[in-house]
Structure 1
Amino acid sequence: MNTVKELNKWANSHTYFTLDLVRIALGVFLFVKGITFITNIQYLADLISPIDKIGGGMFMVHYIAPAHMIGGIMIVFGLLTRWAIIAQLPILIGAIIVNFMGEMHSQNLLLAIAVLAVCVFFLFYGSGKHSADYYFKMQK
């Protein structure tokens, strides 16, 4: 717990508006991706078909889209950002694995790696000063 507090103190003292814009862009991207998956469920089923043999295919279909939508909204507002990103990590790691197990799409692979890298950054950095987390913390 002290490590999280130390990370928050460091992040709040080194916060920049640009990083908040990157966090918001990440959240909007994830939300739009979730909307895309919900409106075209067959596309999502085709994407996860290479790892569907492992099992839990229907669970993945019902987890990915809502996790992207709800997590995206939470990341945009900076509300429980680390928890929202933790929910995204298995999806993003699965997106990278799908590219190696199925047909390789280099553009999708690069996008998944980039989003994973940004998520890992914000997992350690937190939501920053311009967020709901910081606002609620200051209300005490």
Structure 2
Amino acid sequence: MTNVKSLNKWANAHTYLSVDLVRIAVGVFLFSKGVTFITNIQYLVELLAPFDKSNGGMFGMFMVHYIASAHFLGGILIVFGLLTRWAIIAQLPILIGAVIINFLGEMHSQNLIISLSLVAICIFFLIYGSGKHSADYFFKMDE
């Protein structure tokens, strides 16, 4: 807990508006992907098909619901900077899975670059936190 507090104090002392804008952009992107997956659930089922051959559909349906809701709710939390680290922890397995899917299935270089970039940005915000211009800072959750 003391490590998180010291990271937050360092991040708040070295915060920049551009970093907060990147956090907001990542949150909006994840929210829009969640909306896309909710409205076009068959696309997500097809993406997860290589992983769901042995369970008869149960694993795939669990993952579809987890991915869509985590992107949808996590994107909102990241945009507002509320519980940012927890939202990013929920996003990282999905994003790492997106990188793996590019190697197991059909390779799309644009999707791979986006996935790798999001993994790197999410790891940065996992360490950096939500910043000074966030709901966490406003509600004094960082101290």
Q: Same fold (TM over 0.5)?
A: yes
Deviation at 1:54, TM superposition (A): 6.0
State how far apart, in whole Å, the 2-side matches of 1:52 and 1:82 are. 29
Q: Secondary structure at the match of 1:130?
A: coil
Deviation at 1:53, TM superposition (A): 3.0
Matching residue within 60, 63, 67 for 1:60: 63
State how far apart, in whole Å, the 2-side matches of 1:32 and 1:84 are. 15
What's 1:18 paired with? 18
Q: Give the 5 Å matches for 1:124-135.
A: 124-135=127-138
Equivalent AA in structure 2 for residue 16 of structure 1: Y
Matching residue within 72, 75, 79 for 2:78: 75
Equivalent AA in structure 1 for residue 19 of structure 2: L
8 Å CA contact retained: 1:75, 1:84: yes
Point out the structure with the larger helix share: 1
Distance 1:12 1:97, change over 3 A: same
Q: Deviations over 1:11-38 (max 9, x none)?
A: 0000000000000000000000000001
Over the aligned positions, Cα root-mean-square deviation in angstroms equals: 1.3
Unaligned runs of 5+ in 1: none
Equivalent AA in structure 2 for residue 127 of structure 1: S
State how far apart, in whole Å, the 1-side matches of 2:30 and 2:52 are. 22
Equivalent AA in structure 2 for residue 62 of structure 1: H
1:109 aligns with 2:112: yes
State how far apart, in whole Å, the 2-side matches of 1:128 and 1:66 are. 24
Unaligned runs of 5+ in 2: none
> What's the TM-score once normalised by structure 2's chain length?
0.93
Q: Deviations over 1:35-63 (max 9, x none)?
A: 00011001111111122236511100111
> What's the TM-score once normalised by structure 1's chain length?
0.95
State how far apart, in whole Å, the 2-side matches of 1:113 and 1:52 are. 24
State how far apart, in whole Å, the 1-side matches of 2:69 and 2:43 are. 15
State how far apart, in whole Å, the 2-side matches of 1:19 and 1:70 are. 21
State how far apart, in whole Å, the 2-side matches of 1:10 and 1:131 are. 15
Runs of 4+ in 1 over 3 A off after TM superposition: none
What's 2:48 paired with? 48
Alignment length, in residue pairs?
139
